[in-house]
Amino acid sequence: MKQYVALITGASGGIGSAIATTLAEEGYKVALHYGSSKEKAEKLKDTLIGKGFDAWTVQGDLTKKSDVTSVVEKTLDHFSHIDVLVNNAGALNDAPIDEMSDEAFDQVMAINVKGPWQLIKAVVPHMKAKAYGRIVNISSGVGSFGAANKSNYGASKGAINTLTKSLCKELGPFGITVNAVEPGMINTPMTDYIDDKDKAAYISRIPRGKQARPEDVAHAVKCFASDAASMISGQIIGVNGGLR
């Protein structure tokens, strides 16, 4: 395989680190983006380098255009190209709609929608120049099916799904595919706020009878990122054990 470079946002988190590890094991050079979790990102980088993989960290606040530009430029300076972009960084700020603040809505939309949009906008010219690119957006089942007290999160992931569908049509002629992965409830720190009773009720509805792992999401991303997936674009794949 060619030495492709993958930029993974939110790489210090549970799903992000699994994606980065899986792609590194597949032979990709990985740029590990983080927002504030420098220690976790550096630990992941050191672990991957210790296994003989090519890993590097880059920091940036994805709600700021200047930081997005910097993340892309620094990655290009370090690796010289970006072949795969995985928009994984995300935020939750749940509340009933009549109790949700404007700030909570704006924060989630800024991180979950505008951040990926700006990253894609910054990366696409480089992908177009090579007539090759793989963009994988991490969405959520909430984006397609909704959930109570998640109007901001659901709206943001619904927007990501539509962005994926629109950009696959726009970028396909340039050799760039755009797909999305919709995880169900994954056992990561981001879902620690859900109590055991609610988790058990959720798992009881899954035909596979168990909760998906971050590695399961990573394998879906690996498929979309591969050379072999050149004719797979505009797809939104659920990783939820058949729940929906």
Q: What is the pTM of this model?
A: 0.92
Residues known to be catalytic: 153
CA distances for 157 relative to 108, 131, 146, 205, 229, angstroms: 10, 28, 9, 22, 23
For residues 30 and 138, give the distance between their C-alpha atoms in angstroms, rounded to a whole number.
17
Reduced to 3 states, what is the DSSP secondary structure of residue 7?
Answer: strand
Pick from 15-29, 112-126, 145-159, 162-176: least confident: 145-159
Rg (CA), the chain: 17
Tens-place pLDDT, residues 91-131: 989 999 999 999 999 999 999 999 999 999 999 999 999 99
Helices 151-171 and 102-109, axial angle in degrees (round to 10): 30
Reduced to 3 states, what is the DSSP secondary structure of residue 201?
Answer: helix
The per-residue pLDDT for 186 is 75
- Name the token pair of 62: 């994805």
- CB 218, CB 15: distance < 8 Å: yes
- Name the token pair of 5: 């470079």
Tens-place pLDDT, residues 20-37: 999 999 999 999 999 999
The domain defined by 5-239 folds into: Rossmann fold (3.40.50)
